[in-house]
């Protein structure tokens, strides 16, 4: 089919222009091409295109990485000296950086209770509260009961008991209140000794023992907030340095209604050092 069409086109061209002679269309086309070439030569377009082609065909050399290229900081301009007013030449520059003022560390005396913050309500005790304070005949060794051989506390959510003071469910000795017989009456040995001055082993032998919550002298953070007072934070080491037996003894004896007897009772005779100088844990 293609060969037949080519033969037909060739026969038509031969019939129009004759055999071996170009047709009128070919002559007209060649003349126009010649005119366009002469016109481009006059305008310089041909030379421009040849020059552009030669530049694009030129092979660009490969850029090798420089060894030991200096950093941008070395190429940066040298900073100019600071301009200062002649009036301030001999004056030391002022530093506007915020510096926390150093706190005055004062030795804690009997009257030094500034580190105990006041709450919404005034914290006041009387002689009846003093009578509710507990005591113990034997001392209690801190951070041993309920701890493993590495000195870490043993937490057990199944067998352990929750301490009302520190809110930790651990193993070891815990108290039981004869009045409420509730979880609020459970105190671990360390909390009971540091915060109330009582020995958990002696309490376990006393079947009529009443917890600090039922006595109204609990100083845990939750009970204090309910009364409108702020939590005390870790105070055991501080109150021991002041000579008090426990945190409860310190609070009740120093915040009684101002009277001659209260002032006399609130002054301990001699400072008492804690059994364990390193207090890694203390409940609030």
Q: Is residue 131 helix, strand or coil?
A: helix
Lowest mean pLDDT of 20-34, 47-61, 147-161, 257-271, name the range.
257-271
The answer to whether 159 and 171 have CB atoms below 8 angstroms apart is yes
Which residues pair with residue 169 across a beta bridge?
Answer: 162
Check pLDDT > 50 for residue 266: no
Task: Report the alpha-carbon distance of residue 201 to residue 198 in Å, rounded.
Answer: 9
In the DSSP assignment, the letter for residue 185 is G
Mean pLDDT to the nearest integer, 194-218: 97
- What is the residue whose two structure tokens read 């352990």? 160
State the chain's mean pLDDT as an integer.
79
- pLDDT value at position 134? 96
Among 24-28, 43-47, 108-112, 209-213, top mean pLDDT goes to 209-213
The answer to whether 201 and 173 have CB atoms below 8 angstroms apart is yes
Mean pLDDT to the nearest integer, 142-171: 95
- pLDDT value at position 243? 94
Burial of 90 (0-12, 13-18, 19+ CB in 10 A): exposed
Extents of the domains making up the chain: 1-17+24-45, 127-265
Mean pLDDT to the nearest integer, 256-281: 52
CA-angle at 28, arms to 26 and 34, nearest 5°: 100
Higher-scoring residue by pLDDT: 156, 23: 156
Half-sphere exposure of 235 (CA within 13 A, CB side): 26
The answer to whether 167 and 218 have CB atoms below 8 angstroms apart is no
- pLDDT value at position 208? 97
Task: Report the alpha-carbon distance of residue 123 to residue 183 in Å, rounded.
Answer: 26
Q: Render pLDDT for 93-130 as a digit per residue (tens, 0 to 9).
A: 666 665 555 554 444 444 445 566 777 788 999 999 99
Which residues pair with residue 153 across a beta bridge?
Answer: 147
In 265-280, which positions are buried (b, 16+ CB within 10 angstroms) versus exposed (e)?
A: ebebeeeeeeeeeeee
Task: Report the alpha-carbon distance of residue 108 to residue 208 in Å, rounded.
Answer: 38
Q: How far is CA 256 from the centre of its chain?
A: 41
Check pLDDT > 50 for residue 25: yes
Task: Report the alpha-carbon distance of residue 154 to residue 159 in Å, rounded.
Answer: 11
Output the six-digit token pair for 194: 């540091």
Confidence band of 81 (pLDDT split at 50, 70, 90): confident
Task: Report the alpha-carbon distance of residue 244 to residue 267 in Å, rounded.
Answer: 9
pTM higher than 0.85 for the full model? no
């Amino acid at each position: 089919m293609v060969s037949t069409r080519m033969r037909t086109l060739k026969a038509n061209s031969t019939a129009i222009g004759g055999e071996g002679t170009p047709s009128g269309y070919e002559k007209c086309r060649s003349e126009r091409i010649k005119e366009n070439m002469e016109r481009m030569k006059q305008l310089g377009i041909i030379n421009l295109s040849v020059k552009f082609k030669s530049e694009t065909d030129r092979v660009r050399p490969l850029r090798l990485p420089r060894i030991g290229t200096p950093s941008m900081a070395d190429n940066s301009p040298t900073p100019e000296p600071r301009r200062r007013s002649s009036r301030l030449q001999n004056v030391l520059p002022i530093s506007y950086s915020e510096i926390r003022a150093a706190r005055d560390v004062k030795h804690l005396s009997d009257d030094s209770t500034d580190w105990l913050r006041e709450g919404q309500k005034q914290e006041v005790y009387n002689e009846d509260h003093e009578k509710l304070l507990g005591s113990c005949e034997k001392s209690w060794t801190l951070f041993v009961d309920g701890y493993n051989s590495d000195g870490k506390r043993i937490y057990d959510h199944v067998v352990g008991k929750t301490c009302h003071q520190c809110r930790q469910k651990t193993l070891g000795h815990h108290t039981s209140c004869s009045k409420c017989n509730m979880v609020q009456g459970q105190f671990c040995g360390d909390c009971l000794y540091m915060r109330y001055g009582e020995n958990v082993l002696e309490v376990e032998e006393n079947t009529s023992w009443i917890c600090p919550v039922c006595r109204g002298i609990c100083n845990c953070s939750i009970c204090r907030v309910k009364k409108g007072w702020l939590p005390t934070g870790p105070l055991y080491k501080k109150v021991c340095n002041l000579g008090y037996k426990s945190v409860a003894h310190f609070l009740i004896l120093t915040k009684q209604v101002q009277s001659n007897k209260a002032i006399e009772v609130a002054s301990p005779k001699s400072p008492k050092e804690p059994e364990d100088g390193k207090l890694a844990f203390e409940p609030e």
